[in-house]
């Protein structure tokens, strides 16, 4: 059951909130009483998503934010503080992933740089801009969205390296920010049904069978984990990585099937 008070009075900024996991996070934190700034590089789509939530009585507004641009990030943070009076929660959802070239030696510097700049350095920019305000709130929390790609091989060299880097940034920033009253944690999803999988239902069904719990994730599964880590229910948790993957990285389903374990 959703707690409609956990984020009452909280100012929240969510990046990559136009669709998918980011949109689900914006909805969940608003349902729990938060005042949410849903940011995305795609402003029309973010505005559409925010308007839909406002029609349901939720306190959500949209703003453009390109996390590859420092000025854009700082403007979004300033917008949230001005609109809500404080910034209490930052959720880093925005990312960029480029399909691998057939051969590793054919990967380009530009591809590598783009994926790391958006996925890892973008989150760094957001944390840097938000941290003074999160510290001032007295209850600040940062939750970033990682990936099982950062834990083991699922392809995508640059994207995976960037997501692994988020794990390290989570730990080092948690150590720095703890004395300032800000908690920093990471949610690591497995395969989640988003628009990225549209038209690839056969692949998604095959992947579903690799998850011990028998299904792929939904954006709401990840949003629930984010809401926990951002809330006071997780007041003594910082620097942790919470894997939300239906058992994908804990259980080797192919091995178990091969040796016929009961």
Task: Find all residues with CB under 8 Å of 113, minimum gap 6, and list them.
Answer: none
Task: Centre a 10 Å sphere on the Cβ of residue 134 and count the other Cβ atoms it contains.
Answer: 27
**Does residue 2 form part of some domain?**
no
**Does residue 209 form part of some domain?**
yes
Kindly report the pTM of this predicted structure.
0.95
**Does residue 133 form part of some domain?**
yes
Q: Which domain holds residue 235?
A: 11-258
Q: What percent of the chain has pLDDT over 70?
A: 98
Provide the CATH number for the domain around residue 16: 3.40.50.720
**Mind listing the pLDDT tens digit for each residue in 112-159?**
999 999 999 999 999 999 999 999 999 999 999 999 999 999 999 999
Give dist(CA 248, CA 216) in Å, integer: 10
**Does residue 148 form part of some domain?**
yes
Query: Average model confidence (pLDDT) for the chain?
Result: 96
- Is the pLDDT reported for residue 1 higher than 70? no
* Catalytic residue (one of 163, 183, 193, 211): 163
pLDDT at res. 4: 79
- Per-residue buried b or exposed e for 143-182, using 16+ beta carbons within 10 Å of the residue's own CB: bbbbbbbbbeebebbbbbbbbbbbbebbbebbeebeeeeb
- Average pLDDT rounded to a whole number, residues 198-205: 90
* Catalytic residue (one of 22, 159, 173, 191): 159
Give dist(CA 139, CA 34) in Å, integer: 13
Q: Which two tokens stand for residue 195?
A: 């628009």
| CB-based burial label for 239 (10 Å; 0-12, 13-18, 19+) | middle
**Mind listing the pLDDT tens digit for each residue in 22-72?**
999 999 999 999 999 999 999 999 999 999 999 999 999 999 999 999 999
Respond yes or no: is residue 163 known to be catalytic: yes
Respond yes or no: is residue 159 known to be catalytic: yes
pLDDT band at 261 (very low <50, low <70, confident <90, very high): low
**Does residue 1 form part of some domain?**
no
Q: Number of structural domains, the chain?
A: 1
Q: What are phi and psi of 89, to 5 degrees?
A: -140, 130
**Does residue 197 form part of some domain?**
yes
**Does residue 6 form part of some domain?**
no
**Does residue 38 form part of some domain?**
yes
Q: What are phi and psi of 221, to 5 degrees?
A: -60, -40
């Amino acid at each position: 059951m959703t707690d409609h008070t956990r984020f009452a009075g909280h100012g929240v900024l969510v990046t990559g909130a136009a669709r998918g996991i980011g949109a689900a996070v914006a909805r969940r934190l608003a349902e729990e009483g938060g005042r949410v700034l849903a940011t995305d590089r795609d402003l029309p789509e973010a505005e559409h998503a925010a308007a839909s939530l406002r029609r349901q009585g939720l306190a959500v507004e949209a703003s453009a934010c390109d996390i590859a641009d420092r000025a854009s990030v700082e403007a979004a943070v300033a917008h949230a503080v001005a609109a809500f009076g404080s910034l209490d929660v930052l959720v880093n959802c925005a990312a960029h992933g480029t399909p691998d070239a057939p051969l590793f030696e054919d990967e380009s510097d530009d591809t590598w740089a783009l994926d790391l700049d958006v996925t890892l350095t973008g989150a760094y920019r957001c944390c840097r801009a938000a941290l003074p305000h999160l510290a001032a709130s007295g209850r600040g929390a940062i939750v970033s969205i990682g990936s099982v790609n950062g834990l083991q091989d699922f392809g995508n060299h640059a994207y995976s390296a960037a997501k692994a880097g988020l794990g390290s940034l989570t730990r080092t920033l948690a150590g720095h920010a703890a004395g300032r009253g800000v908690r920093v944690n990471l949610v690591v999803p497995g395969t989640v049904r988003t628009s990225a999988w549209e038209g690839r239902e056969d692949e998604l069904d095959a992947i579903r069978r690799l998850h011990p719990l028998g299904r792929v994730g939904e954006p709401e599964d990840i949003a629930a984990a984010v809401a926990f880590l951002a809330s006071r229910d997780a007041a003594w948790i910082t620097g942790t990585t919470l894997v939300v993957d239906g058992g994908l990285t804990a259980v080797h389903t192919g091995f178990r099937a091969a040796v016929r374990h009961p």
